[in-house]
Structure 1
Amino acid sequence: MSGALRIERVVTSGVFQLDGGTWEVDNNIWLIGDDHDVVIVDAAHDEKAITEAVNGRDVVAVVCTHGHNDHVTVAPALGANLHAPVLLHPGDQALWELTHPEQKFWSAQDGERIAVAGTELRIVHTPGHSPGSICLHLPEAGALFSGDTLFSGGPGATGRSFSDFPTIISSIRDRLLALPGDTKVHTGHGDGTTIGDEAPHLSDWIARGH
């Protein structure tokens, strides 16, 4: 018996760096699996905390929702020590190289599926916060892992290099708001939300144009 499918959160703290600025941030790392297998979503700051949460399970993959340093901090180390591939959309190659210039990753492409614990995670390419931003949809659990594409209250930031506001709005409108309204959104930072809670605000986000 491998137990029931479950979603676990680990919160780590560290620094986000880009365009010459630094910000203290708390990151959500998500573990999706059962008693035997698990997928790690994002690899922020603290390898030990993430490894302890894995608790000896087989790691199918370390999936990075995008290439900002706070989401890939310990990805190569986790991949090596847990014998798992590190997945990132190739659109974020330039961002990855800012943190890990000598390290390689496996390509995560739109529509690909990752099998874990008797179910599948579907990769959804959602550019805007960065060119290679992805979300992971887990239909069996009615869950979406949105990285920094969608938060409680609106889209992720687009005021820094490699980001674009109209693109993130298109990604959310066309790819995410098409999901069932009761889909739970597990975000890269802070509290979660649902698709139904965020959908009515799309026109407001566009009007604000932030």
Structure 2
Amino acid sequence: MVQGDLNTTSFLVLGLLASRDWSAYEIAEQVGRGVAEVWPRADRQRYNTPKRLLERGLVTARTEHTGERRRRTVYSITEAGRDALTEWLGTQSRPPALEFEGLIRVMFAEQGSVEDLRANLRNLREQASQAQQLFVSHAGRLHAPEGGTFPERLHLMTLANKFMIGHFDNMIEWAEWALDETEYWPDTSSPATTHAARSREILSYTMKLARPAGPEPESS
């Protein structure tokens, strides 16, 4: 049975170790290669998680010497660790959560200037563009003949990569659209009334874009 005190970061590390042994530094390095954009908590827990997995018998650790005086700890997944990972993959994932400070700033922008709002939108566009390029570079490595760091996961990494590039493309497109919408706003408060009709027009359009919540129930 999957241990209840394990979290998603624990299984992320087990997933990395399922392919090969990694040192603590290498695990942290892999987390920094795009994983933190998908699961930010992993970045904060990347050095402590292997130690917790070791305490629970889900990984083993050995010390290797990489020079005359340098040592490193290398972790390996155990059978119990593989069993826990397999069982976790068979459970239902939690709904996705979005942590997006820039959007919070948009929601309360009437307390600031329109210049600050538009500067925030430009910053969001730039951040999304930079993050997208990270995954474009990942796509290039996956596309190479050797298939990237995990060639055995090429098909799965491709699925995830397409999502992330599309995710940031949506953010870029939205930021550019929002900059167009706010270009002639005199401030951040008066459009609540002067642009009310435009706001309702946008909302009517976006409601039509929404997909149904789920399949229609079958008739008996």
More helix by share: 2
More strand by share: 1
Q: Settle same-fold status: TM greater than 0.5.
A: no
Q: Give the structure with higher Rg (CA).
A: 2
| Higher RCO (C-alpha 8 Å, min separation 6) | 2
Instruction: Calculate the TM-score normalised by the size of structure 2.
Output: 0.27
Q: Return the TM-score normalized by structure 1.
A: 0.28
